[in-house]
Amino acid sequence: MDACYFVDDIRVEPGMFDGLLPELIERVEMYKDGAMIRVYTKRYVAALINKSGLQKLSYMPIGLRPSCH
Q: What is the DSSP letter of 59?
A: -
Q: Which helix (H) or strand (E) holds 21?
A: none
In this structure, is residue 23 part of a structural domain? yes
42 in a domain, yes or no?
Answer: yes
Domain count of the chain? Answer: 1
* Sequential pLDDT tens for the chain (69 residues): 578 899 998 999 988 888 889 999 988 888 877 788 889 999 988 887 766 655 555 555 555 555 665
Please tell me the distance from the alpha carbon of residue 39 to that of residue 28, in angstroms, as a whole number.
5
Q: What pTM was computed for the model?
A: 0.69
* Neighbour-count burial of 39, counting CB atoms closer than 10 A to its CB (0-12 exposed, 13-18 middle, 19+ buried): buried
Q: Which of the 8 DSSP states describes residue 35?
A: S
Q: Which domain holds residue 31?
A: 4-52
For residue 47, tell me if it sits in a domain. Answer: yes
**Rounded Cα–Cα distance for residues 26 and 50 (Å):** 15
